[in-house]
Amino acid sequence: MPRLTLIDAYPTKTSDLQAETEDILQDHVPLDDTPDSHILHKNDHLKFLIRNLSQGFPARYVSQDASQPWLMFWTLQSFSSLQIGIDPDTKQRAIDTIMEWQHRDGGFGGGPSQAAHLLPTYASVCCLAIVGRPGPGGGWDQINREKLYNWYMSLKRPDGSFIVSNHGEVDVRGIYCLLAVAHLLDIVTPELIDGTAAFIASCQTYEGGFSSASHPQFIDGVLAAQRPSLGEAHGGYTFCALASWVFLHPYLATDYEALRVNIPQLIRWLVNMQGIESDLGGFRGRTNKLVDGCYSWWVGGAFPLLEALGVSPGDGASHVNESAENVWDDMDDSLFDRRALQEYILLAGQHPAGGLRDKPPKNPDAYHTSYCLSGLSAAQHRIRPSSTRREELRAAWKGEDGMRATAFSESLCWTEESGGSRVLGSAANRVNATHPLFNLTMTHTEGIMAHFYKQNVPKRTPTATGPGPRSH
């Protein structure tokens, strides 16, 4: 019996729910630990996705009318994660639908004729990265990048932040979406990102994770250095803030003492979001909350980003006392337990009827299907920036060396470590590697960026010699 979460003599609704959840999760643990007990039911998930795409979403999704780009992105990216191609006719239908969401003044809305918003703009452009192409009707060349950039600048605030839409609120998730799209479409400029890194740093909370925003303080018209964060640390905010920081890091001056993120405190918070064995190793999104499949990506996907900042888990495998009780017997040198996260997704995240979910006994949905699969990818693959790949991209760059070359090479230098794959179960459980910054496959990221930067992406070569993918 695994160790359960400790509770004191004063039970609460929170502790009762935690205990109930642990009991339910333990019911999903197989009696035998064999490859056959850990199966990714790809065909069932494929049927779930095809049903949503071809027949339409169930009636309960009517509340997501302003999130149409997200519903499409979650579906298309799930296909990509499962290594499923999309036929040309479906691609064209998707492109035509996406372009209906483009606002006449720049950006994309949540549906036709809806106001432009940073979040559906990211989802729309990512959809086009998956299904789009150059030329008439292909979507890529129909994106009005000039209007998009001008709209971005209209959303910029004096403290370096951005509101998510006209008359909207500041939210670090919107800033991540803006930076991701700006890098994909080659519209990053010094003016666009001026002051944004300082804002991101100000969103870190005392716990180490990040909140949605900070409170700007102006003294005699000058922005004060101290800006208190607003709200508690949260997995989604933390991923978006950390990814934004990684996007901005190459452009920071060497003497940026005032622009600091407390990395040790961030690591401490992230690793403590992974549940213990009674939680099946899933991730929670906030302190004292339940594990949830979507945080497999929002928290699990944050660990590769740390390596871009020079954080190394260490050399060699961790030393584990094999005789100790209540420890997983497959530890590696990662900052999180990759095997345990795969166990949670495979044992608790999959719904019997197809699709993936928060946790049992909940129903599957498009959101959790996408982010459980992306989290599974983050657990299976070890992707990090490669100095060799960066040099290859720089050497192949055509044109003036500057911010554009930096944006291109830093975005595409991420490489999977040879021999770094860890697939729980059989090799058939393998999903595609996803780019830690964009949550797109490496192929789709390279394709759209090569087009907009007008560059040729050099062929990839293995990063190192070593064993092939390992199954456990």
Q: Classify strands 383-385 and 229-230 as parallel, antiparallel or unpaired.
A: unpaired
Active-site annotation holder among 183, 292, 384, 422: 292
> What is the reported pLDDT for 315?
37
> What is the reported pLDDT for 227?
76
Buried/exposed 402-434: b ≥16 CB within 10 Å, e otherwise = eebbbbbbbbbbbbbbbbbbbbbbeeebbbbbb
Active-site annotation holder among 177, 203, 294, 372: 294
Active-site annotation holder among 368, 382, 435, 444: 368
> What is the reported pLDDT for 328?
40
**Which DSSP symbol is given to 346?**
I
Active-site annotation holder among 45, 156, 234, 435: 234
Active-site annotation holder among 171, 279, 337, 358: 358
Residue 302 and residue 344 in contact, taking contact as beta carbons nearer than 8 Å? no
> What is the reported pLDDT for 184?
98
120-153 pLDDT, tens digit each: 999 999 999 999 999 999 999 999 999 999 999 9
**Cα 151 from Cα 103, distance rounded (Å):** 10
- Catalytic residue flag (residue 292): yes
> What is the reported pLDDT for 466?
37
- Catalytic residue flag (residue 362): no
Active-site annotation holder among 289, 460, 470, 472: 289
Amino acid found at 274: Q
Which residues, other chains included, contact 207 with Cβ-Cβ below 8 Å and sequence gap of 6+?
Answer: 232, 233, 265, 269, 287
- Catalytic residue flag (residue 358): yes
- Catalytic residue flag (residue 365): yes
271-290 pLDDT, tens digit each: 999 999 999 999 999 999 99
- Catalytic residue flag (residue 28): no
**Cα separations (Å) of 228 from 3, 92, 205, 246, 417?**
38, 47, 8, 22, 39
Q: Classify strands 218-219 and 470-471 as parallel, antiparallel or unpaired.
A: unpaired
| Cα 195 → chain centroid | 24
Residue 79 and residue 91 in contact, taking contact as beta carbons nearer than 8 Å? no
**Cα 147 from Cα 153, distance rounded (Å):** 10
> What is the reported pLDDT for 260?
85
* Residue (of 248, 217, 244, 246) closest to 230 by Cα position: 217
**Cα 318 from Cα 327, distance rounded (Å):** 13
Active-site annotation holder among 286, 338, 422, 444: 286
In which residue ranges of the chain is pLDDT below 70? 1, 35, 219-226, 254-259, 314-333, 462-472
- Catalytic residue flag (residue 294): yes
Query: Helix crossing, 442-453 with 403-412: angle to 10°?
Result: 160
Rounded to 5 degrees, what are φ and ψ at 219? Answer: -115, 115
**Cα separations (Å) of 260 from 96, 190, 252, 366?**
43, 19, 11, 36
**Cα separations (Å) of 79 from 55, 104, 419?**
16, 30, 25
pTM of the model: 0.92
Amino acid found at 270: L
> What is the reported pLDDT for 114?
97
